Structure formats: structure tokens, C-alpha cells
Chains A and B, each alone.
Chain A
Amino acid sequence: MTKSELIAQLAAENPHLRQQDIDLIVATIFEEVTAALARGQRVELRGFGAFSTKRRDPRLGRNPRTGEAVEVSAKAVPYFKPGKELRERVNEGTKPRPAAARRAAVPA
């Protein structure tokens, strides 16, 4: 699914909204997350996941073509940790869920 396919789905499900509003809703969500990360903030969306940044120390890299050593400066990289619910949904059907099975076996 691409961003435009996501927008098309939302438009089909929400015929009362204008196309430009749907574009703006989707753009706002990703822009807010990006801006928060750029400010060094975390974004936590329970059940979906959390966006954060991780620091990378400066290191000595190498130009793979020339073999020359080049300094790579410190930087921050974006990181996404999927939430429990989404992690389980993605993995669904791959294996039995022992914790859930145990819970189900315990009489209430």
C-alpha cells in the first residue's frame, strides 16, 4: 500500500469529506511525527507502535570504491518499534499464541 492508495481508501470510506481534506489529514499525521522526531521527541501510538530517534556516534567510514577512510559525523536515525497489538497481528497464524492459549485454558 502506498500513501496514495491509503488516501484513496479513506476517500472511498468517507464520501462526505473533500479530497483536499483527506490529503491534508494524511499529510498532517506524517508531518507531525516527522517534526516531533526532528525536535528530539518520541511519538507513542499505543497498539500501533512508537517512533523515536537513536544517536549514532561519529565513526571512521571507508569509501568502498577508493578504500579511502572518511569521517562519518554523529547523527540521529529514526527508529520504529511496533506495538504489541500490531506485532501480534502481523505474526498472526504463524504460530499458536501460548500466552493467550494459557489464559483461555484458565477457568474464569
Chain B
Amino acid sequence: METLTRAHLAEAIYANVGLSRNESAALLETVLERMSAALESGNPVKISAFGTFIVRQKGKRVGRNPKTGIEVPILPRKVLAFRPSQVLKARINGEAPPAEDDAA
């Protein structure tokens, strides 16, 4: 099935809100940028009925090059995780949404 891209989301904003196509695309970009900036500063982004994006701190560990078997240290790093909300999980399985949304 076809993959949705920025163009589809911008078109949906254009159709729903009645802004110009240009402005619809620009606002979509702004939304993604605001979310990215919050995550970059380490703050979680909580979207109720959708899910939560969280930055997790990972500690140092020893990894291994799977091809050569040589041990390489994996330095501490920050990774982004997404926790889908119960509402999103239910929608994807065609179930009735739960009564309460935990946003997580």
C-alpha cells in the first residue's frame, strides 16, 4: 500500500482548514520542528489520544562487530522512544477506544 508523506498531510490540512497549499505545508513543518526542538532539549512530547515521544538516556555498554567479532565500546547516548496511547492502539486494531486516555 502507498506510503503517506509530508505531501499527503499538507494536502489534508489544505482540505480541512482552507489555508493555501504553501501555508499548509509550512505549518506542518512548524509542528514537526516544534516537536523536534522539544525532544532535542530532552523534553517529552505528549500528544493525547496519540502517544508520547520520550528521550531515553542509554548507558555505556560493550558491543561487538557482528562481522569481525571484535569488541567495541558503545558510548552513552540518548535515544528517542515512542509510546503509543491506548486510543491509538485500539484504532489500529479496529477496536472501540478505551474510556480513558492516558496519553502515554
Contact = CB atoms under 8 A, between A and B. Distances in A.
A44 B75 CA distance: 29
Nearest to B84: A78
A32 B4 contact: yes
Interface string B24-42: 1001101110111011100
Tell me the dominant secondary structure on chain B's binding face.
mixed
Contact of B47 (A17, A30, A43, A49): A30
Interface in A1-25: 1-3, 6, 9-10, 13-14, 17, 21, 24-25
A36 interface: yes
Contact of B80 (A1, A29, A87): A87
B17 A77 contact: no
Contacts of A36: 4, 8
A6 B19 contact: no
Interface string A59-75: 00000000000000001
B35 A1 contact: yes
12 contacts: A3-B47, A3-B48, A10-B27, A25-B16, A25-B31, A33-B9, A38-B94, A41-B4, A78-B82, A78-B84, A94-B78, A95-B77
Enumerate the 5 nearest inter-chain pairs by beta-carbon distance, A residue then B residue, closest first: A80-B82, A78-B84, A1-B38, A43-B4, A82-B80
